[in-house]
């Protein structure tokens, strides 16, 4: 549990609820995400596929986009859940976005549908990230 009182399991449950709204007619791979802000607010998202696959929006980026559009700028954790053989990690593009928007030490809580949970920092998942210091 962190400062806001939300447990990892509760954050995963919110991500799981968001997963139910996934629009994934091509892959059938439904993903949900929930991002927790430092003030305790939680924003959720699901993946939204597109026939032009490159335009697909991942659940993590949908949740972060909703949070940013509501003025959130400080994040403590992001959770992701999908029907996979093991806790599902964010894709490479999402790792980059999470790193930039949430910072290197944000916790990434990953789960499968069987309740197995793993937690890593984004810097563990994306070492030596490209950031504004290179610009």
78: containing domain: 8-134
**Residue 14 resides in a domain:** yes
- The closest of 84, 112, 90, 113 to 35, measured between CA atoms, is 90
pLDDT in tens, 115-127: 999 999 999 999 9
Distances 54 to 35, 48, 57, 61, 128 between C-alpha atoms, Å: 23, 11, 8, 14, 25
Give the CATH number, domain containing residue 21. Answer: 3.40.140.10
pLDDT in tens, 1-21: 455 578 999 999 999 999 999
Decide if 49 is catalytic. Answer: no
What residues in the chain have per-residue pLDDT under 50? 1
Tally of domains within the chain: 1
Q: Which of 49, 60, 70, 107 is catalytic?
A: 60
The per-residue pLDDT for 1 is 44
**Residue 3 resides in a domain:** no
**Residue 2 resides in a domain:** no
């Amino acid at each position: 549990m962190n400062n806001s009182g939300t447990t990892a399991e509760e954050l995963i449950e919110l991500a799981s609820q968001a997963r139910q709204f996934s629009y994934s007619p091509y892959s059938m791979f439904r993903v949900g995400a929930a991002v927790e802000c430092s003030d305790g607010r939680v924003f959720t998202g699901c993946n939204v596929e597109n026939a032009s696959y490159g335009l697909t929006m991942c659940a993590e980026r949908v949740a972060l986009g909703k949070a940013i559009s509501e003025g959130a700028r400080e994040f403590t954790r992001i959770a992701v859940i999908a029907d996979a053989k093991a806790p599902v990690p964010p894709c490479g593009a999402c790792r980059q976005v999470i790193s930039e928007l949430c910072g290197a030490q944000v916790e990434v809580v990953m789960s499968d549908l069987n309740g197995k949970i793993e937690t890593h920092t984004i810097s563990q998942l994306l070492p030596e990230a490209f950031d504004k210091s290179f610009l």
